[in-house]
Structure 1
Amino acid sequence: MGLRTDLPGSGEPRGDAVRASPGGLDPVRLRAAFGAFPSGVVAVAARVDDRVVGLAASSFTSVSLDPPLVSFSIATASRTWPALRRADHLGVTVLADHHDLVARQLAGPADARFDGLDVTFGDGGAVTLADGIAWFDTTIDRHVEAGDHTIVLLRLHAVAHAEGSRPLVFHRSGFGLGR
């Protein structure tokens, strides 16, 4: 296997790729490049001060089996993160392929994010959606500021999953593949 030299940064740019200028990368092009990578979508939620708070995240990933860790990232400008950060436990639900409207609702106004959704409350305050395809009861292990986002590392305390379901996929700023 040889080293490719036709990639941006290793010779002449391919397609519509451009090199970074001294002022940085064009955010529109960067967002489009990030969007080329499909990702699953999760709901992250908890009961805080007797109300359900949460959000949709497409940055969820497994990190470690021992100790069991996962992560997601959230914009530092988020008004939801300060409340979630105070929760004893966070629930993470992997959304199913029929949850596109749920994902949009969870990305909408904070006071209506869980209206009409069937949720389950865990003992430690973790909140999960009843018809997801996987569920995690977590606590915050640590969080790291990273540019305009915060990377949140979560320690797993309980997990469950449904067989035979397909995940919701976020790709090129929309749901589903083939965009």
Structure 2
Amino acid sequence: MTLTAFLACCAAITFAAATPGPAMFTVIANGVSHGFVRAFLAGLGIAAGDAVLVTLALLGLVALVQTFEWVFLILKYAGAAYLMFLGIRMWRSASARSDGLQATQARLSRSFFLGISIALGNPKAILFHASIMPLMLDLSTMSFVEGLLVVAVVFGVNIITMGVYA
């Protein structure tokens, strides 16, 4: 992998991570309703989920999703349904608090796994890694260490970006 290709990949990853989407809204919503720790854990889950997507893209498994469009369609609708579920749950939680009822504090791991599920079900992330990554990086000549470096950059950029949003 050339330095130019690596820097272009880093720039694209940073741009994609900073672009508003379900991940950003999840982190901000967790921060507003539950505080920094829960928001940061959701961001950590998002970073882990994106690292999984990048690993799949580097392994070429994303080609399967491109070949079988119905898999992507199912993921897309499942992600949309999950986001609607989260919105309804947050709306109910807000109305319960306004009535003076105390909402029980969920376990911290719930925020982390929420982040992972948002990242894995995010159509923007799936499309990005499926289309842009293979165009920018020559997967046929990429070494294992270079692949790990790309995954580490994705994880690090997501941690920083989601940490800022938290």
After TM superposition, the score normalised by the length of structure 1 is 0.21
Q: Which has the higher contact order (CA 8 A, sep 6+)?
A: 2
After TM superposition, the score normalised by the length of structure 2 is 0.22
Larger radius of gyration: 1
Structure number having the greater helix percentage = 2
Structure number having the greater strand percentage = 1
